[in-house]
Every structure is written in C-alpha cells, then in structure tokens.
Chains A and B, each alone.
Chain A
Amino acid sequence: MNKILLIIRREYLTRVRKRSFIIMTILGPLLMAAIVIVPIYLATRGNETKKVSVIDQTGIFYLKFKDSDNIKFHYLLSDIGSAKSEFRKSGDYALLFIPKTDVSIPTNAILYAESNVSINVIGYIRNVMTKTVEDLKLEAKLHDLQLDQKHPLDVGDILRSIKTEIDVNTMKITDEGKEEKSYTELSMILGTFAGILIYFFIFMFGSQVMRGVIEEKTSRIVEVIISSVKPFQLMMGKIIGVGMVGLTQFLLWIILTFGIVTVATSSFIGDKSQKNLTQQNIIEKASKYNPDNLPLPDSAPSRPRQNEGVNQVFEALNSVNYPVMIGAFLFFFIFGYLMYGALFAAIGGAVDSESDTQQFMLPITVPLILSIVMLQFFIQDPTGPVAFWFSVIPLTSPVAMMIRIPFGVPYWQVALSMVLLVLTFIGTTWMAGKIYRTGILMYGKKVSYRELWKWLKY
C-alpha cells in the first residue's frame, strides 16, 4: 500500500509542476469566467422589451411585478383558458399564470411561451414571487412573535423559517396550440457545460495516463519498477495520481473562476448579497413591531441600486441545486475517468509508441464522441429513450447523465447508471490490468486485437 502511495505521489508531483499544467490552470478559469460574465454583461445591456401578461388567481402578486427596461408586465383578469387561446395573437413574450392554491401560500407558477423563456425573465419572476411570499411569511411570523415579547429576535431563525422555494414551470405553446413542457436555457447550458467538461476531462487525463505508460515503456524504466512493485499497483498508482491532478485542476478552476467572476461582476454591479438584503428587510420590518428588542445589525449594508438583469442571472444561477450537480459531477467524473483511465492504460501498455495507438483508440473514442454528438437529442428530450439508454450504458453514461442531470432525472435512473458504471469500472480495470501486465514487457512488437484477447487469458 505504501508503494502505491509513492507512485501516486510521483505521478502527481511531476505533473502538477509542469508548465503546461500551470498554463491550463490559468487559462481554464478565464474561459469559464467569460462564459459566466458575458451573459451577465449582455443581460445588463439587452434593450429588447419583453411583454409578459399575468393572471394571478391568488391576488397576492397584483402590481408586485415592476416594469423594468426590458420587461413590461400587464395584468389580465380573464380566465386562463381564453388567455391561452388569445396568447398567440397578442404578440406577448410570455403568459404568467399563478394558480389559486388550497394552502394559503402559493409556491408555484406556470409560464407559457412560444419558445424557451429567457432565464432573465424566469429569474426575475421567481425573484419577485419569492420576495413577496417571504415578506408575507415574515409579517405573519413577526405578528406571532409580538405576542411573545420576552425573547429577543433571532434573525437567523426567522430567515430559516421564512425561506421559500418557488417553482416556475415553463410550458411551450406550439403552433397546434398544444402544450409541451419546455426546459429553461439554464438547464441546457449547465447540462451541456457539465457534459462537455466530463468529456474533456476524461479525454485529457485519460490520454495523459496512456502517454505516461508509453513513456515508461519507451524509456525502458518499466522493468526496473515492476521488479519492485506489482504491475497492477503501478497502473493504479498512475491512474489515481493523474486523476488527482485532474481533480486539483478542476478545484483550482472552480476557485479561480469564482474569484474572477466575483471580482469582475462586483466591479459593475457592486455588492448584492441576497442574505444581507433579507436581513435588512427583517430588521426594518421588525422595528415596527418591537423596536426595543432589535439585535444590532452585524453589518450595515446600504441597499445598492440593483441592476435587474444581473440580478436575474444570479437568481437563475442560485436556483440550481448545486450539491446535486457537483456531487453528480464528481461521481461521474471520478468513475468515468477511472473506467476510461484503465482502458487508456491498457492501450499504453499494448503499444510501443503513440503512433501505434490509433487502432485501439477507436473503440474508446467512439462512445465518448457519440455521447457528445447526441447532446442535441438529450437536451431536446431529456427523459426520452435515447437519453435514457445513453445515460445508463456505462461507456456513454458519464457524459450523457451529466447533460441530463440539470433537467431532473428520476433517482432510480441515476442509481442504476451509477451502479452500472462502478461495475464496469471494476471490469475494465481487471481487464486492463491483464493487458497492461503483459504489454509493458513486450517491446518492438505490433500487437493485434487477437493478441490482446490472448493476454486476457494468461
């Protein structure tokens, strides 16, 4: 065990110190930051006005939606059926329907539109609805607390108790007047981004494993090393070491991207912490009820003039379930990489130089590339059979599942996909170990598939 750690350490340190690693670490976040910043920047400049009609059966949100530079709201009193049939003629951008609910507090809304609705609009609507509902809850809470004057206000507790999640479902109204559930741009962007990232990471670090193995073969150090460690230890040490380089890079990218985005956006929107706003809100409201028991505000944020566009993008980004996204990403990245890493290592072991790898690369690259090529289909129909099968079959599942996750995938499908992936990882590693063990000691021999098959049985 100690020796595998030595190998991991060497693989990790030699790569992390390389100039190319440092360059990639800096370039990656710049690129990703650009992907985040550019839409925000554009959102602040967009000048096309979108008209949204509102049917609010609850009455709570009447006049709460304020017109901004690029969104204009008008309220309809007609029923939803006729509004929908009128919608296509009206030329409105979207129709917001807030149905009456049995419980007192409404938590969902439906947004009808002809095409996908921009995340800005959804973000703004969700934002306003959340605030309105939270304000209502706050009023009620404070009213209750007023009866119990002994306890000082606990802002954190109140914050937790009023926290509200608003669902804004978007429905597409098609030419035939049919309704289809549509998916927001954000899910699309996130899915595509996560899928491509996994694809890219598997390829990049998988081929690093392969090159590392070939390097050990051509430099002829491999026989020296396997006289001290088992070939399998050397292979796994390399795969894990390189994988940790990948995770390090990923982590640095996240941190640096976050840093760049924070700095860049704050330079043109200023501080806009949601928490501070709500906290300020509570204190303001509470002062009306109970001026003596006020806690001192831990900071005194001035309410900055909000830039709606930017806020909406942030709102949309905040709506993502990050623990699930990041958890799934890490799982599919790690196991997808381990599975492919083993295959790449086997290829490296079987050949003498990188130019010989092509015939063996094909069966590995085809599923990976296919899952990227099919991206369009997954996004159009994330719950359809194509998306399902691609995200369950292990060779394509890391990429395909990550594309689907932001759209919401039934848990049993995710679990099935994960179990199959782990099983396949064990299988490919076992296979790769056999091929690798024999291959690394073969010099100057062109190997065929038949030969590899024989090695499996040694």
Chain B
Amino acid sequence: MELFSAQNITKQFSGHKALDHVTIDIPEGSIYGLLGPNGAGKTTFIRIINQIIAPDEGRIFFNGRELQPNDIYQIGYLPEERGLYKKMTVGEQAMYLAQLKGLSRQEAQKRLHRWFEKFEMKAWWNKKIEELSKGMQQKVQFLVTIIHEPRLLIFDEPFSGFDPINANMLRDEILAQRDNGATVIFSTHNMASVEELCDHISLINNSKVILNGPVREIKMTYKTNTFEVTYNNFSGNLHDILPGSFSVIKEWQEHGMNIATIRIPVNGNPNQLLNALVPHVMMHSFTELIPGMNEIFIRAVTEKSPETIQHN
C-alpha cells in the first residue's frame, strides 16, 4: 500500500526542465531514499510534495486520494537549507513552529516538554538559538520537524552538521519514527546511510527517474556474477584450472592467503566455479560480490548520461 504516489510529475522553470515525467510510489512504513546528483531535481520534487511549489503536470496522491492543502499537517519536512530565528528563544521558536503545523497551544506545550525531557534539552528552553552550538540547533530543528507526529517525514541531507554521536542518535530516532508507523523520505548523497537505512530508492538524474525500486532488487540487477574467493596451498595459475568462459579479474595476497575475484558467465552458476577450484586449492571463503549503492549510483548516472557527472 502506497502512502504517497506521484504520477508523471513535470515541472519547468524558465528554460529548463527540473522534473520530467517523474513517477514515484512510496510504500507506507518504508524508508525511501531519494538519490541523485546535485541539480537533478530532488529538491524540486520535495518542494512539490510540501506544496511549496505546484507541478506543471502530473498528479499527486497522499493516503489514497489527491494531495490536499491540509495534508501539510501530516508532513514533516527538514530541508537541506535549514535554520531557525537566531534571536528567538528555543522555547518560543519551537512553540511557534509547532503551532504553525496545526497544534494547539496546550498540545504544543505538552509535547515539547516531553521531547525536551527525552533529549535532555530542558535547560535550553529560554536560551536564544544563537547561544546554542550547531549540533544543538540541529537537535531543535529535528524536534520541530517531528513534533506534530506526521505520517510522512521528509529529510533532506539530515546528517549534515551532526557529529557521529548525534548522527547516531538521529538515525535511531528516524528508525523509531518509522517503527511508530511514519513513512520516511530520505534525500542524501551519503550512500553509506542509504545502504544502512533505506528499503526503497529512486535515483533521479537530469530531471528523470533512472532507477527505481527496492534496494535489494536493484542490487540484484546490478550484480555482475563476480565472486571473491580466499584460498591457499596453490601455486599454479588460476587460468589453467578454470573453464575458458570464466575470467579472473584480480589476484592478490594478504596475510599468507591468496585472494581472487572471478567473474562467471551470465549462464554459469557458482557451483561450477566451486567445482573447478576445490580439487586444486584449499578453500577458505567464497562470497558473491554485491555492488554497493555508491557503485550503483555512479554506474547508473554515468552510463545513462556521462556528461552529467562531468558537469557537477
């Protein structure tokens, strides 16, 4: 079941197309990675979800029906370009933003006090934002993003500006939000965090979606039937014992072990490789090499339009 669905979204800014028939379906309860190089159109897409700008063409569905102005109360957005009023106190500011998201005064107060306690931020309530460290400001910012308990959370580069400890806390909090039933859209360049958090991704490049689907399936389609084997007690040449259709990509030695990466043909299978090797070598490990998101990202973007990468 999709919580959010964008169908054929097109958005044109004078002279250039920011989004070109983009279709993205976001399953309820997932953490959805929105990836793409700078200037690909991710931010435009996020702004359209937030109804900051309107698409030229296409339809958007939220919770099974067409997106409505009041749906912003169900959406929490942490923009990449983010900040707070520097001269305002933390408490006033949090109250203000919570009320703008539709909470009543009493409700905002109640929830904020609960969260401030949880994050150990009670002492900050009367401090001005400019008196806080950057990390502390980010915490406040995160808190006001989720204070109205939105069903859809949008994080644009959430980890920038966080130290590893706070980044870890933030990650746990994002997962906790998901476990509580929220759906998360997560836009980032940090492929390690995509790998760690996302179930689904869409890769946007040059205003088009070029890759789309569950992370596991995408990885499967990008795998190249390459295996890494660790062995010893063999002094011959691997080429001599392997069938001619198999290719050895790389061989090296580490801690007295031989390691090699070997690609088998598309119609081959891992057992054929094992059968060829086992009579000759002492096998220690055998792993299929699944490409990381980083590699997939670069391959997808450069294969489809090599000039984009050079421009950015």
Contact = CB atoms under 8 A, between A and B. Distances in A.
Interface in A1-42: 3, 6-7, 10, 14
Contacts of B17: none
Given A220-B83, A221-B82, A227 B72 contact: yes
Nearest to B144: A224
B96 A10 contact: yes
Question: For chain A, what secondary structure do more than half of its interface residues adopt (helix, strand, loop), or is it mixed?
Answer: helix
A441 B43 CA distance: 11
A225 interface: yes
Interface in B58-117: 72, 75, 77-79, 81-88, 96-97, 99-102
B1 interface: no
A47 interface: no
A228 interface: yes
Contact of B84 (A221, A228, A441): A221
Given A221-B82, A441-B47, A14 B97 contact: no
By CB atoms of chain A within 10 A, which of B81, B88, B101 has the most? B81
B50 interface: yes
Nearest to B98: A228
Given A223-B81, A454-B14, A441 B52 contact: yes
Contact of A228 (B72, B83, B85, B88): B72
A458 B12 CA distance: 10
Contact of B96 (A6, A223, A227, A441): A6
A321 interface: no
A215 B130 CA distance: 13
A228 B103 CA distance: 12
A229 B79 CA distance: 15
Interface residues of A, number: 22
B16 to A, nearest CB: 12
B50 A227 contact: yes
Nearest to B78: A224
Contacts of B82: 220-221, 223-224
A221 B85 contact: yes
B83 A229 contact: no
Contacts of A223: 52, 77, 79, 81-82
Interface in A439-458: 441, 443, 454, 458
A228 B52 contact: no
A219 interface: yes
A168 interface: no
B86 A227 contact: no
A4 to B, nearest CB: 10
A177 B149 CA distance: 85
A153 interface: no
A6 B99 contact: yes
B52 A221 contact: no
Contacts of B52: 223, 226-227, 231, 441
B257 to A, nearest CB: 52
A14 B100 contact: no
B97 A228 contact: yes
A443 B14 contact: no
A228 to B, nearest CB: 4
B97 to A, nearest CB: 7
B83 A221 contact: yes
A229 to B, nearest CB: 6
Contacts of B101: 228
B19 to A, nearest CB: 15
Nearest to B80: A223
Contacts of B141: 224
Nearest to A218: B83
B84 A219 contact: yes
Contacts of A228: 72, 97, 100-102
A227 B47 CA distance: 8
A441 B97 CA distance: 19
A226 B84 CA distance: 13
Contacts of B84: 219, 221, 224
Contacts of B96: 6, 10
Nearest to A14: B88
A227 B97 contact: no
A441 B13 CA distance: 13
A229 B100 contact: yes
B74 to A, nearest CB: 12
A3 B100 contact: yes
A29 B102 CA distance: 41
A221 to B, nearest CB: 5
B258 to A, nearest CB: 53
B85 A224 contact: no
26 contacts: A3-B100, A7-B100, A14-B85, A14-B88, A216-B85, A219-B85, A220-B82, A221-B83, A221-B85, A223-B77, A223-B79, A223-B81, A224-B77, A224-B82, A224-B83, A224-B145, A225-B97, A225-B100, A226-B52, A227-B72, A228-B97, A228-B100, A228-B102, A441-B47, A441-B53, A458-B13
Given A6-B96, A224-B145, 16 more contacts: A10-B96, A216-B85, A219-B86, A221-B85, A223-B52, A223-B82, A224-B78, A224-B97, A224-B144, A227-B50, A227-B77, A228-B97, A228-B100, A228-B101, A443-B81, A454-B14
Interface of B: 13-14, 47, 50, 52-53, 72, 75, 77-79, 81-88, 96-97, 99-102, 141, 144-145
Q: Which 7 A-B pairs have the closest CB atoms?
A: A220-B83, A228-B100, A223-B79, A219-B83, A227-B77, A227-B50, A220-B81
